[in-house]
Amino acid sequence: MRLFIMRIHVYAKLKDYFSPEFELETFAHNTDELKRCLLDINGQAGQLLDSCRFAVEEGFIDNEYKLKENDTVIIIPPSSGG
């Protein structure tokens, strides 16, 4: 596996656990691996990360999507409102 850099953007409640935008050097190639990397940064975000949706430039992604170097990953927690 090769270490690469991706940009991460988080929103809403996730800003309590991470900077709103940051770069991450990682071996992560899917969302599950990315979640594990993020938990290494802040383990208290685990429950919230489990309920988040992930997106890249192409739109929302699932764990089947293969993350690539220089991807910008957007992590969106669940929200409620009227």
Per domain, the residue ranges of the chain are 4-76
Query: For 25-48, what is each residue's pLDDT tens digit?
Result: 999 999 999 999 999 999 999 999
What is the pLDDT at residue 81?
56
Domain range 4-76, its CATH number among 3.10.20.30, 3.30.9.10, 2.115.10.20, 3.40.50.1110: 3.10.20.30
Whether pTM exceeds 0.85? yes
Q: Is residue 61's pLDDT more than 80?
A: yes
Contacts 24+ apart (CB under 8 A), 46-55: 48/13, 48/14, 48/17, 48/77, 49/14, 49/75, 51/77, 51/78, 52/14, 52/76, 52/77, 52/78
